[in-house]
Every structure is written in C-alpha cells, then in structure tokens.
Chains A and B, each alone.
Chain A
Amino acid sequence: MTRLVVTGVSASYGSTQVLHDVGLTVEGGSTTAILGASGCGKTTLLRVVAGFHAADAGEVRIGDRTVAGPGFAMPPERRGIGYLSQEGNLFPHLTVAGNIGFGLPRAERRDRARTAELLELVGLPVALADRRPEQLSGGQQQRVALARALARRPELVLLDEPFGSLDAGLRSTTRRAVADALSAAGATVLLVTHDQDEALSFADQVAIMRDGRFVQVGAPKEVYSTPVDRATAGVLGELVILPGHGDGDHVITILGRLPVAGADVTGAVDVAVRPEQVLIGPAVGAVGSVGAVDAVVDAVDYFGHDALVRIVLPAGPEGPAPVVFSRVVGDDAPTPGQLVGVSVRGPVQAFPHTVVLLAPTDPT
C-alpha cells in the first residue's frame, strides 16, 4: 500500500501565497478528505501533489518515491496518480471505451473485457461502452472518468470536488459508487471538498484547511466532536452557541450543568452545542418531562425525515434571549408557539469567550 506524505509545502499564484508550510500524511489504502471553504488553498495542494502546480518549497512523497522536492518536480504523467476533477473532463472526441483506454498502452486499449471490468467496477452497464460523453448524465460521466483514472491501477487517486457539479440525488448515489470502486481498487485516496457531509462520510481522516494551513487533522468523529476552535466546529456542521461559565469538567449554562468534551475550562466560555444534542419534550412539570428549562417554539423548518426547530429561551440577566436550534425526527416536530421543555444530551464543546461581531452561526 502506498503512503502519501506531504512535508512543508508552500505554494503561490503570482505574488499571492496560497499554501503556508503544509504537512499531511495519508496512510496507504486509506482516504483523507481536505475540507475547507472556497479559496482556502485545498485545490492548490491537490494540484501540487498531482504535479500540475509547482510548489515554492516542501516535499511530496508517494510511497518511497519523492515526486516533488527543492528545485525538482516530477511531471504529472510519471507520478502514477489517478486524477478526477469536478467536471470529469471526459475527452469529447472519444467514446466511453476510448476514454477508459486512454491511459493504457496501445495493445491494451482495445481490450473489451478490461473496459467491461472497469465499467462494472464503477457500477455502470457495459452497454455504455460505445456511447459518447455527451450522451451520459453527469453522474455517469463522473463514474466513467473514475474508471478511466483507475484503469492504470494508480497507487494514489486524487479527487477534486468530484461530486460538486452533480445535483443532490445523484450526488449521494455517485458518491457511494465511487467509494465502493475506490475501496475495491485498494487505492490511497485524497479528496478535496467543501461539503462537510461528504468529508465526514467519505474519509477515514479529515483535514480541515483555513487560509492555506491545516487547522486540524483527525478521524471524522474526533474532529466533529472535539474541534480545536469555534470556527472549525462551525465548518463541520450546524452549531448553537450559548454563553456559559466553566467549572472544571462541566459548564453552567441556561440549559443546565453540562459535561465538557476535552480539557477542563474555567471562567466565561462560549458553549457550542450541535442541534441534534438539543432535546425537546413536554414542558417542565408535565408527565415525562426531562426538560431543564421551558421555552417557546419560534419556528419550524420541516424537512420530512427531520425538522429543525427554532426555540427562544427565557431572557437571562445578561443580554437578550438566547436562541437555540433543535434537530428532531420529522414526526416529532412541534408547532410554533408551543411550550416545550429543553435539555441537552451528551458532552458539549467549550471555547474561550469571544466577542462576536458578526451574527452567530446560523444552523440553516
């Protein structure tokens, strides 16, 4: 299995430095997702690894080969990589079979069995082999592009927002097909995305990039449950921020005394709660109530499978009434105006209190 090691890579476009001393290791056969906002430098890193962009400094190693180092960059065609871009970039003048065979030696290009095998690997019917790219749907094009990349049995597969141009329904099925094909091929995978669901579900390791630096690298569950800072927590999913007071391994908030994930805290803190941790039920005092406090439902965004409930908590002594969001199963959605008991389940994250100049994170 081939390991990818990136060490101390800096890169720039013109006079703008995009990557600052970036390091990352992707273990052989595993999948790492680089998650970050548009323009954070994640695509540039992928292009440095692929060999399409020359780094200013640093080293890239694929397996035991150094493919880029000080004053040296191996051309992309010799790096043994598979590359899948957002648009797939199928060659419009070739059929599906022609595209899949493009990177193979001349003798193997006409091998129908190999083409069929690759189409099957990405979950497409063999009958598509003689179609032209424009006759395929977006999801099919992406899968053919993956088959084309996998045809050469690359040690490392680079995916540049490969599902970004697909619509929601197609995205999840294509993502599953691609994930299955990649794990069947046993390749080491580096994925670039700005979609946190994609990063968390697709990868064994998530690397969060901001302004050309990695701010946190870890297993999906780890980065989701213990993000290093508030901004990172916000990147990974919807977030409710409550004022709180640190008391060692607990924080005291309007929603009660809650356990803290990670290190002990003291003093004024911002408590970050995921909407799925906010539970609603019968009002305090009613039969079966587990609520810590009563509050009024302000609005409900109903999505069918679940619903996001906006709740206005009673105003505290310091400042305006806090607003929290609760994610509930669709059937359990309350109606606006209803009085509910609110509580929090599980450990929460606490960050040093910061004065927020912008609007608080809006989970929608």
Chain B
Amino acid sequence: MTTTTPGRLAGPAPRRHPSPAGGALVLAAVLVTAVSVLPIVVVLVNALGQGWSEAVADVVRPRVWELLRNTVSLVVVSTSACAVLGVTCAWLVERTGLPGAGWWRVLLVAPLAVPAFVNAYAWVSLRPAMTGLGGAVLITTLSYYPLVFLPVSAALRGLDRSWEDTARSLGLGRWRTFARIVLPQLRPAVLGGCLLVALHLLAEFGVLAMLQFPTFTTAILDQYEAAFDTGTGSVLALVLVALCVAVLTIEHVWRGRRGHARIGAGVIRRPEPATLGRWLVPGVSALAVLVVLALGVPVYSLGHWLTTPGATVDGSALAAALGSTIGLALAAAAVTCVAAFPVALLLRQRQSAFTTSIERLCYLASSLPGVVVGLALVLLAIRWVTGLYQSATLLVIAYAILFLPRALVAIRTALAQAPGALLESARALGDSPARAVVRVVVPLALPGILAGLALVFMATTTELTATLLLAPTGTQTLATGFWAASSSLDYGAAAPYAVAMVLLSAPMTWLLLRQRTVIA
C-alpha cells in the first residue's frame, strides 16, 4: 500500500531495471495470474451455466435480501468502528507522551494473533446469549481494528513535522492543523486499513456461524453442506464477489489520485508529542479497557477451558492435526513464495499497461473470500479435474491463491532492498546477470523473503473456510479440528486447538509490527 509517491524531480531519464529473463519471466507471471483468476471464472461459468433466468430467480429472493442487509450492515458498522478505534489508538500511541508507548503498541496489535473465530468462541463459550448483529460487530471490531491501527500508526510515525509547523505558522490552531494537515495525510492509510477490514468481514465465516448471524459467506457454506447445491451457491458467491468489487471500487475512488510527496531533501523531523495533560487517565483507561476486551477475554477464556476438569482432549488427534497443519502450511508457504517471485520480479520492471494489469488481477483475485475460492476449486475438481478432488494439492493451491498478496508484498519489499543500481554496479565489476543476483540480490532480499514465507505460513495455520471445503477426507487441521469440537459445544476439547493456533501465529504480530505494509 503506497502512502507516498516520491516526487519525480527533473533529473536523468527514468532508468529501466535490467530484465533478468524476458520471456520465461513473463510466462511464469502470466501463469500465476491465470491461476489466481481461475476461481472467478469458474464461479461465473457455474452460476450462469444453469441459465440466466434461473440465476436471476436465485438472486431475487427474500432470503437474499436478508443476507444482503446483514452483510452490508455488518460491513458498514464494523468497518466504521475499526476506523475510529484504529485511528484513535494510533494517535494516542504515536502522538501523545503516553507512558510505555512501545508496550501499548505491541498489546494493541497482539489481537491479530488470535483468529477471529477463536475470539468468538472465547466470548460465546462464556456468554452463550451473545448472538446477532451486536455480537458480530463487537467480536469482529475487537479482532480487526489492528488492521487500521497498524498502517495508521506507521503513517503517523512517517509524517514530517515541518508541515504541521508550517500550518501553525500560517495561523491554524492545533485541532485545525490536525483536521486539515494530519488527517488528509492519513487518509490512504485509514482507507487501506478499512479496505482490509471490509474484505475480512465479507469473507468471515467462523465468527458469524458461531454467533448465528447469517451473511453471504455463511449461507454459501450452508447451501453447500446441506444440499450440495452448487448452482445456488455459485450465484450467492457471485453476489459476494460483486460486493468485494464494490468495496475495492469505493476505496479506489475515495483514495483519489493525490499522492503525498515530500519535496526537498533533509531529515524528516520527528514531531514532539502533544501532552495529554488531564486526559492522560481517561486515555490510558480507555486503552486498558480495549486491551482487556480484545486480548484479556480470549486469554482468560482459553485458560479457563484449558484448565476445566473433565475436558476430553484426544492427544493423538491433536498431534495429527498439528502435524498436518504444519505440513500444509509449509507447502503453502513455499508454493506461494515461488509463485510470487516471478510476479514480483516482473512488477519491478518499468510500469506498463501489462504490468499494471498483472498487479491488479493478482490483488483482485486474492481479495476473494476463502469460501469463493474453496467453492470454485471444489467445482473445478468435481467437473473438470477429478484427480484433484479432495487432494492436499488442491488445498495448497487454494492457500496460494488466497495468500499470494502477502508473499508478493514481502518479496517486493525485499527486492527493493537490492535496487537496480546495485545490480548495475555488480555488472560493471564483472558479474554476469545471474551471478549478480546470487551475490547481491539474494543476500539483501533474504530476510524479506523469509518474512514472506512466515506470513503465509501463519495465515495458513488459521485458515478455516477454504479448509472446511477442501480438506481431504480424514485430514484434520488445527482450524477444522477446533471447529468440529466447538460446533458440538465441546469447548474444553476445542481449547487446545485454539491455543496451538494462537502460538503458531503469534510471531505474526512481531512481523507485522516490523513491516510497514499490512496485507493480512
């Protein structure tokens, strides 16, 4: 997510990065993009395959209106709540002399390590009456506000104080400066965060199924599991895809074309913190309440169920689930990063209509909810590639499609560590292109590539929706094992699975804190 566009000053003609391997690279990138786009095509073909009038009849039903109302109200209310919480927390942590700001930052991002459906389990298992829109908004907001907090606090840290100083010198007061100078600059970060929240909400299954708040995603799975009705499922999926596209479009339009360029050389001046004064105690208390709700409740609840006597924990089943989760996650991480590499290399070259469409298509395809990708791959396997049905390969492909952007962002950031000019220096010093990559790009980009592997690994360990649809019979992952136990209200048996998932994805918090760009 680009928050600033470097100002292009008059200078030497724009330089092309050397193209390491023309044809093969383009071919690989196109192949990866084609696989990413496949789910949309399959869903489209299947939905319209039953006939146009049938499809329309499937959409124009009271049930669909109810789903639409639920989905839209959840997205609007939760996203707004996340925006307000995220911006407020970011401002408190980054711009006020908050005691222990570093610790607050970690505590406020930590809820990302708790999968939303585990958070829902934590609350529902303690308060079973918590259902409907209110509960769904509470849980999803507590789970997803860090997606706004992270980019906004990164943007606040990167802001140059001198703009604010200039505004103050032009006669603006502190609040007007915030409204007219700071907020507009935060806009790309806020919108980017909100986009992620909205896409997560559209894709959310576990929380909403647990809270019995039906949306398109839960309805598609119900439809599929109850009736194997893939026609109606595809039509619902198509509506869901349309909602995703609508969200992406709204974000694109609101973001506008304006970049925030920092013109001129010189050191970015770090702002002096505003002092909270008499607001210190209310501010700290509010943060503390938030942390207790978002982090304290799930931790307490997991501890409670883990230590409740009489829980029947099948140790060997848990170990098997852990093993298959790690195996699948390793495979998914490797496949996703290998797939992302040619795309990242291609996007490094000079921007053209071709590279832009590759980039857009990859991100669009991967904004699809797991349920759509899962459903599409099931259809694909049943109809056309029967050998892949219920295979681990298909599941890994689904993970790769879903998590390609994470790997892409990490690898692109990593490759940026080794700019083209360094490659040229190596060439001038006698290295062939391949040797230059090995001696310069690989050592510089390796940490970023490893981060990409880790991000995909951790995302895979908590993936529920696509896994429910695609997991081979008899294979249970931590997420599906947890789901099976908690669906039958066996909270004690679900707890160890949840703890394992939290532990596996905890390092993600740290990685995301380090990384400026969030694709989660």
Contact = CB atoms under 8 A, between A and B. Distances in A.
Interface of A: 13, 16, 18, 38-39, 41, 43-44, 50-53, 75-78, 81-83, 85, 87, 89, 91-93, 102-103, 145, 148-149, 152, 158
Interface string B469-503: 00000000000000000000000000000000000
Given A91-B440, A93-B443, A152-B430, A76 B424 contact: yes
B421 A85 contact: yes
Nearest to B433: A75
Contacts of B428: 50, 76-77, 81-83, 103, 149, 158
A298 B444 CA distance: 58
Contact of A39 (B10, B426, B431): B10
Nearest to A101: B429
Nearest to A148: B429
B418 to A, nearest CB: 9
Contacts of A77: 427-432
Contacts of A39: 10-13
B425 interface: yes
A3 to B, nearest CB: 20
Nearest to B435: A77
B422 interface: yes
Chain B: number of interface residues, binned into ranges: 20 to 34
B14 A89 contact: no
Given A83-B424, A149-B429, 20 more contacts: A13-B13, A38-B11, A39-B12, A39-B13, A43-B12, A50-B428, A75-B432, A76-B424, A76-B428, A85-B424, A89-B425, A91-B444, A92-B417, A92-B444, A103-B430, A103-B431, A145-B425, A152-B429, A152-B430, A158-B428
B233 to A, nearest CB: 47
B80 to A, nearest CB: 43
B173 interface: no
29 contacts: A16-B13, A18-B13, A39-B11, A39-B13, A41-B13, A44-B13, A50-B424, A52-B424, A52-B427, A75-B427, A75-B432, A75-B433, A76-B424, A77-B427, A77-B430, A83-B425, A85-B421, A89-B421, A89-B422, A89-B424, A89-B425, A91-B422, A92-B417, A92-B444, A102-B429, A102-B439, A103-B429, A103-B431, A148-B429
Nearest to A78: B430
B7 interface: no
The 9 closest A-B pairs by CB, nearest first: A103-B429, A83-B428, A43-B12, A76-B427, A89-B425, A77-B430, A93-B443, A38-B10, A89-B421
Nearest to A151: B429
Nearest to A165: B265
Contacts of A44: 12-13
Interface of B: 10-14, 16, 18, 417, 421-422, 424-433, 439-440, 443-444
Contact of B426 (A43, A78, A102): A102
Nearest to B10: A38
Contacts of A16: 13
A51 B432 CA distance: 12
Contacts of A81: 428
Contacts of A53: 16
Given A39-B10, A39-B11, A91 B432 contact: no
B178 to A, nearest CB: 35
Contacts of B421: 85, 87, 89
A211 to B, nearest CB: 13
A51 B429 CA distance: 12
A16 B16 CA distance: 14
Nearest to B14: A13
Contacts of A52: 18, 424, 427
B194 to A, nearest CB: 35
Interface centre among B14, B430, B443 (most CB of A within 10 A): B430
A149 B428 CA distance: 8
A82 B424 CA distance: 11
A34 B439 CA distance: 32
Contacts of A13: 13-14, 16
